Amino acid sequence: MEEKLIRSEYSEIMQKSYIDYAMSVIVARALPDIRDGLKPVQRRTLYDMYELGIRYDRPYRKSARIVGDTMGKYHPHGDSSIYDSLVVMTQDFKKAVPLVDGHGNFGNIEGDGAAAMRYTEARLAHITQENFLADLDKDVVDFIPNFDETEREPTVLPVKIPNFLINGSEGIAVGMATSTPPHNLAEVIDAEIAYMQNPEMNTKQLMKYIKGPDFPTGGIVINKDELRAIYETGQGKVRVRGKVEVEKGKAGHINLVITEIPYTMIGAGIGKFLSDVAELAEKKITNDIVDISNQSSKEGIRIVIELKKDTDVENFTNLLYKKTKLEDTFGVNMLAICDGRPETMSLQGIMKAVVDFQFETARRKYTTLLHKEQDKKEIQEGLIKACNVIDIVIEILRGSKDRPMAKDCLVNGNTEGIRFKSEASRAMAAQLLFTERQADAILEMRLYKLIGLELDALVKEHEDTIAKIYRYEDILEDHESMSLVIQNELSDIRKKYSVKRRTVIDNLEDAVYEEKPVEEIDVAFIMDRFGYAKTIDVTTYEKNLETIKTDFRYSFIMKNTGKVCIFTAKGNLHTIKAMDLPAGRMRDKGVPIDNVSDFDTTSDQIVYVASQSSLNLYRIMFVTKQANTKIVDGGEFDVSRRTVAATKLADGDEVVSVHEVHEISTVVFQSEAGFFLRFNVTEIPEKKKSAVGVRGMRLGSKDFVRDVYYLGEADTQTIEHNGKGLQLDHLKITSRDTKGTKVRL
């Protein structure tokens, strides 16, 4: 066979493949269908439970059985995605209306996961069976082959309520995501009924019924006026706050009790909130907290924050709103599959799509029911007619050789070969002319049907069938009749399953927290050679000054409202608020400096530490390994950012020394090769922190500045060099940018 080569651009193949993959994820995995509000995995799981007969009024079945059957028949994408979906459909803190009735540990609101699928059991919830799956046998939706064409599955479930709005949805596809908040079932049904009565309703009119999201966790939506724009566009941000109550505590303390949380705090968010509140106390942002405890149980959320007697509760609550997730934002993007493609839906668009779908399913349902009743009517009329001429029918049956002969006579009037008592009977038999179905029913009819009461029941049943046919025809031919039927069904569902609104919708002002002025006092900063830092009171510092100077690498007195500035070899400046450092005693260890700053001990090293207030008073001198030097006004380091560049460095260079230029007249550079250069500080120019600086010392090949010493007018300083003492103040003062003198002792 001759080979056929198809040439194609590689980029075009990649583009097409990526688009195919993206659409597969969007349509077949991640996004819900606007008609039933379900993702494929949810739809397949519910349908599989329906097929397995795991109904609300039957015993629970193991989740592993459901997951395995769903994966084997309909969803070959791994058991974890199916079980995760099953778990979420049981959780009343995530779903406004849980679709599955779970038995066992299916997780909790605090983020604890569900038990393994082999331990938990499940069955369909009552509402799911009655209103999601009830009419599947009436040809209301299309069925398609499953992945291996051994089974058939519904393309959509015949859901009778706007599940997309009621239970909401979350999902991440390729290049898009859906995020729809849950709503109150009663409000959504009321809105749908109103929309069916007036399809011209706008968003404002619909919102007379749907006030806003109704989260299972309650809370307060605080931007009511922005909801209309969200529902008109299908996108926006809903701001939610937790519900806070005030109770009397022990010893006159105040208990701030959180009874409802934002929907976004479900799971790990509760633990994060507790740690954030504890951090407020640790970082001394507030001194009002005495204790915090999580007393939540099956009865509901109860997080208790014990406060001091004189706490301004309103101000503290605003602090929680500002600094923690007690006030959070729920991003709305009502994206769903509509007519086979992803679309961001407005509230009107959702209502139209849902109502159109319900009319379509109702049309198909009542068409199927009408056909069944018409078939039943045909058979009933045949049986009634047969009862009226039962003697002739019996003669046909007794005189026929076999069933086909008898049926041929009943249907076509062919009496050939049949024995009759008289020619009159033969003539009457030739005129019966039953239909095929009627003839089959007559041939299968049992003798007890000839009893008088049975005949009366048959006539009454026929009358009921006629009434149903008239009703179904009226529903199918009259739009108003069908609309009324759907509205009545919705009203029954509302009456049976509605719950009170949990979330309050309101317009509230932004939380404003007024920080209490901190009493400014002097504290002593101390940091040991291992990088552990803390602050102590000045009295303790002065009493232990000699020990501190010996055992600690850096120490100085500063204000408790000030900042500590750390200069590093890489030329960076890291600032730390004194408030962020633990206030301890002399024997306390302190905190690693890299825990309270962006400084990385593994890749950088500290060169100099000072308080920002002292830097503002003096000029700062920099010396690098390559002998570049400059003086910078200390005010340039009064910055608000945690980390900035303190100086500019040449490639491969690093900072060797940083020092305040205060009561210093000369500076001594010592190179690795043993050269010493002493010159006046006045020779070093003042530059910006963004400058490289000037050369302070001429270095030989592979030589570099090892140490820098600073001397005042009358200072004497001796260092060890080559095992002997070298008195630096005896070195000759020369000029900057010279080689210096090699000292051999």
Between CA 555 and CA 87 the distance in angstroms is 57
Q: Which residues have C-beta within 8 Å of that of residue 2, sequence separation ≥ 6?
A: none
Sheet holding 563-568, edge to edge: 606-611, 563-568, 572-577, 643-645
Q: Which residues have C-beta within 8 Å of that of residue 21, sequence separation ≥ 6?
A: 174
CB of 267 closer than 8 Å to CB of 110: yes
CB of 435 closer than 8 Å to CB of 378: yes
Between CA 322 and CA 320 the distance in angstroms is 5
- Nearest-CA neighbor of 49 among 29, 27, 32, 74? 74
Task: Specify burial of residue 328 (Cβ count, 10 A radius: 0-12, 13-18, 19+).
Answer: buried
- Nearest-CA neighbor of 189 among 166, 157, 207? 166
Q: Which residues have C-beta within 8 Å of that of residue 215, sequence separation ≥ 6?
A: 181, 182, 240, 262, 263, 502, 503
Q: Which helix (H) or strand (E) holds 144?
A: strand 143-145
Q: Provide the 3-class DSSP secondary structure of residue 354.
A: helix
Q: Which helix (H) or strand (E) holds 282?
A: helix 268-282
CA separation (Å) from 503 to 54, 91, 548?
33, 18, 58
- Nearest-CA neighbor of 49 among 27, 66, 31, 73? 66
CB of 46 closer than 8 Å to CB of 124: yes
Locate 318 and state its tokens. 């605003």
* Amino acid, res. 41: V
| Cα distance between the two ends of the chain | 94
Buried b (16+ CB within 10 A) or exposed e, 580-593: bbbebeeeeebbeb
Question: Which residue carries 């040991």 as its tokens?
Answer: 528
CA dihedral 540, 541, 545, 549 (to 10 degrees): 130
Q: Provide the 3-class DSSP secondary structure of residue 569.
A: coil
The neighbouring-strand residues paired with 429 are none
Active site residues: 119
Between CA 323 and CA 286 the distance in angstroms is 11
CB of 525 closer than 8 Å to CB of 533: yes
Neighbour tally for 348: CB within 10 Å: 19
Q: Provide the 3-class DSSP secondary structure of residue 615.
A: helix
